Structure 1
């Protein structure tokens, strides 16, 4: 079996294709569950385009929350606007009042959890604690959330301000184009790519122009996101297009330095997509001209079905779904490698929080188990893991034989698989969880923190270590045979502490939710997650390469040193 391409299809098909968040299957859960507590009554506000009718509900802490949904921030990216940078929505609706009480359709994607998609999807939702009808103008902090989903999945339905607004503020949740529609690139002026990222920039411009009407301060904007949204948040730091549009960043479980966050062969991917749908693929112009005529449903289906044949030809097997380095043209989002830009480019000196969950790798291991370890009888084959799996992972991250892959592979095996003759999956499982987490999330997070701490004034690093029986693992593998893996504190578990999720929280869940959402809110207000230290909010020191201090976030949060020590098997805590 040609393991490497198939493995890349598997891992990147979830982290970067189906998306880590689109893997959370909430189908059947009423959308209202995520949108605060009723009963709801109407409320009205006026922005530059006209009047909006929203609704008043409650936050989790029973404070009033004013919601305005499905507000257009860019023109519909259809027809000749497909594969182009977004154009601002400037139409007025005159004397009409626009209904802003229903959630918008998701952007096109392949996900069993998504039922209502439309290419006309560039909308955002605004949640505020300010009553637009009676409150005087205010300067509440603004938090703009970028959802995860590997740049090809996710939507706004799953998020609201119901937890984050207990201290007051404004939360904005945006949609952006996904997959081929959001990131197709011919690596030239015909289709330079990164449209999904440019959508985010346009949404931030909308915030600058309109958020004051909702009580928000356009000079106090925090961009935050999870997984692909975390990577996008770091991308915003290095893009000239986003300069001056935000004042703080929180990157949860994702970085622009993650190998899965960048497509390095975009033109090959565009050619392959064109071929799959029957379009000519010799020149950029004929590719894009033809693809603009293909129904979006077809593009989504083809992207899902291309499988090993398409992925095997591309770095990481991603293909027309992720950000890319653009040619040096006007309006480019980035024109150099994110690593170069972080090290040498012009970046905004804004406070940054970044980190990951303790057991990020359990989700990747679960996918590996379901697709290969179980069906191929590799569950207890540690020899195969040493000789095939680890070298394949190193190849993914650019470590070749010429650069010492053999020695690095052996060192990795010794660190995560001591005792090569052990043939017991249960025994080796914690090690594999840690190894997968390092490769796909933690190493890039730490590298980003190291670089930023040398260049920025305030960088805070964390590890989420609060275990809950309400783990998102249940929703990640919903409707399937759950792999026999202890998920620990897995990818996306942190989301339930800052957003409503379809779980019945334990008292400890509720207590930690107040702590984490409180720290995020503090950061939005002040740029410091613990401006007034207490037993619940111990002083969170800034991260530096010299001191290496980071916060271990749980019900009894504490400061520790040497983040990479949690990469080893001793960092795994069984529950």
Structure 2
């Protein structure tokens, strides 16, 4: 799949661990040209006997490899339009992209590095969807290197037999291999391997938090930005991955494990990769966890102990976390028109099950809080947003503060342009920033829908990318000298003020209570689960 940029002159050759590569120079007619290298293999293709195995470092090659187009997307179910727009899918998908300043860093160690991991419920998406020229123009030009990487998706990325016959969490092992590649090679692009920030959105946000917990991966980077997803979310890990994999094999390939996992895996290696492809499966009337078809598992290897224990061992790293104003709008589309008392009761019952002490009293109190609002549509949007992400973002802050972190930058992203929704704007029940709405202002690329940024959007893009790049460079979104690109000092959440956050908007403001304090209240009410 090609880049959105054409007629770009070639870069100089760069020598990496596998050989020599050449890319293209974006913004080549400006004083801040960006060297773009796309489709760099960071591991051998995970095909044939390599299926269901850890990624291997890439073999060396002779000559100069041209890296000027995105690599294949991971296996997923795609429409003909998606294949035309975003390129082919393949089991051979372990490629990354490097976008590096074409000028010398003022820091003798080199440029800070930002590694972005895409989302897609662990089963879909790719780096091509997040673009190249716009992230180069607005993020890389702020003196950072941006790396975007792919990984095995769905059942090929997270297959499990529950024993050593198959390596669990292969998608996370792929991400780890990409980070090892960055550590080994980023100096060749002018980067500082001692100043690497990992960031991701949705399932990518959950991934970067999980990577920061695992002893396999946690020492490969230095700062963490989970956006709209984190390891504290109940959907970030799966408890029934083995059963779901067996069910998939039975239904899609008519293969039974037969009680012999090694024979089971041998048979599965002979099946076409397309039979493992799946897509997002949102179930608005079920728990969010049930809507994730397959994903990371606490396996005893990548995660040798419970996540709570691993957090305590992970060490202190600067962290920035948050989500959008109405993250739950995608779930509301299926329940539009059902904004009566019973609709609220059913969702609240999922949040506060009968196993909670005084569950009836707590349910009634939360119900009354939502029902007292004049606009029940917005109340329902807030409720679904709490269920999906708001509570887990607040829990993330509490989890890390409990391990000794002295400050965490918490945000709610509230700015949006209605055009970013495209045709979905006609069916969205509430107008506001929702899942993926922050991506255009970090990477410059509409994810829900391609749209042209207006002057106000571009100014927001400049502000937000300045804050994100400041965090990558200095561990502080306000900047080394307190420039405060968002227009106000972004104060961190602390043990004394665990709900403190910034509302990122046209006029950003500091708030003492994340989403009005509702997520913290849910957490208090759900204690003991």
Please report the TM-score for the alignment, with normalisation by the length of structure 2: 0.87
Q: Could you tell me how far 1:218 is from its partner in structure 2? A: 0.4
5+ residue gaps, structure 1: 1-29, 374-378, 569-575
Q: Could you tell me whether the CA contact under 8 Å between 1:139 and 1:217 is conserved in 2?
A: yes
Partner of 2:295: 322
Q: Which residue, out of 103, 110, 123, partners 1:152? A: 123
Q: Which residue, out of 289, 292, 295, partners 2:269? A: 292
Q: Could you tell me whether the CA contact under 8 Å between 1:140 and 1:215 is conserved in 2?
A: yes
Partner of 2:506: 555
| Aligned Cα root-mean-square deviation (Å) | 2.9
Partner of 1:7: none
Q: Name the SS of the counterpart of 2:343 in structure 1.
A: helix
Q: Name the SS of the counterpart of 2:156 in structure 1.
A: helix
Find out whether 1:260 has 2:235 as its counterpart: yes
Q: Name the SS of the counterpart of 1:223 in structure 2.
A: strand
Partner of 1:190: 165
Q: Could you tell me how far 1:50 is from its partner in structure 2? A: 1.6
Q: Which residue, out of 365, 372, 378, partners 1:418? A: 372
Deviation string, structure 1 residues 506-544 (Cα, Å, up to 9, x no partner) = 221111111110001111111111123346442222211
Q: Which residue, out of 109, 118, 129, partners 2:101? A: 129
From the superposition, tell whether residues 484 and 136 of structure 1 become closer, same or farther in structure 2 (CA, over 3 Å). Answer: closer
From the superposition, tell whether residues 400 and 183 of structure 1 become closer, same or farther in structure 2 (CA, over 3 Å). Answer: farther
Q: Name the SS of the counterpart of 1:260 in structure 2.
A: coil
Aligned runs of 1:325-344 on 2, under 5 Å?
A: 325-327=298-300, 332-342=301-311
Q: Distance in 2 between matches of 1:341 and 1:116?
A: 38
Deviation string, structure 1 residues 152-204 (Cα, Å, up to 9, x no partner) = 11111123332211211211000001000000111211124110011110000
Q: Which residue, out of 494, 503, 515, partners 1:544? A: 494
Q: Name the SS of the counterpart of 1:525 in structure 2.
A: helix
Q: Name the SS of the counterpart of 1:470 in structure 2.
A: helix
5+ residue gaps, structure 2: 520-529
Q: Could you tell me whether the CA contact under 8 Å between 1:355 and 1:462 is conserved in 2?
A: yes
Partner of 2:55: 86
Q: Could you tell me how far 1:503 is from its partner in structure 2? A: 1.9
Q: Could you tell me whether the CA contact under 8 Å between 1:60 and 1:166 is conserved in 2?
A: no
Aligned runs of 1:164-179 on 2, under 5 Å?
A: 164-179=139-154
Aligned residues: 498
Q: Could you tell me how far 1:49 is from its partner in structure 2? A: 1.8
Q: Which residue, out of 441, 444, 456, partners 1:500? A: 444
Partner of 2:41: 72
Partner of 1:453: 401
Find out whether 1:394 has 2:381 as its counterpart: no
Range with greater deviation from structure 2 (554-563 or 198-207):
554-563
Partner of 2:331: 364
Structure with greater contact order relative to length (CA < 8 Å, sep ≥ 6): 1
Partner of 1:436: 384
Aligned runs of 1:263-282 on 2, under 5 Å?
A: 263-276=238-251, 277-282=253-258
Q: Distance in 1 between matches of 2:234 and 2:29?
A: 37
Q: Could you tell me whether the CA contact under 8 Å between 1:70 and 1:123 is conserved in 2?
A: yes
Q: Could you tell me whether the CA contact under 8 Å between 1:280 and 1:286 is conserved in 2?
A: no
Q: Which residue, out of 385, 393, 396, partners 2:343? A: 385
Partner of 1:18: none
Q: Distance in 2 between matches of 1:152 and 1:272?
A: 17
From the superposition, tell whether residues 534 and 169 of structure 1 become closer, same or farther in structure 2 (CA, over 3 Å). Answer: closer
Partner of 2:73: 106
Q: Which residue, out of 206, 215, 221, partners 2:181? A: 206
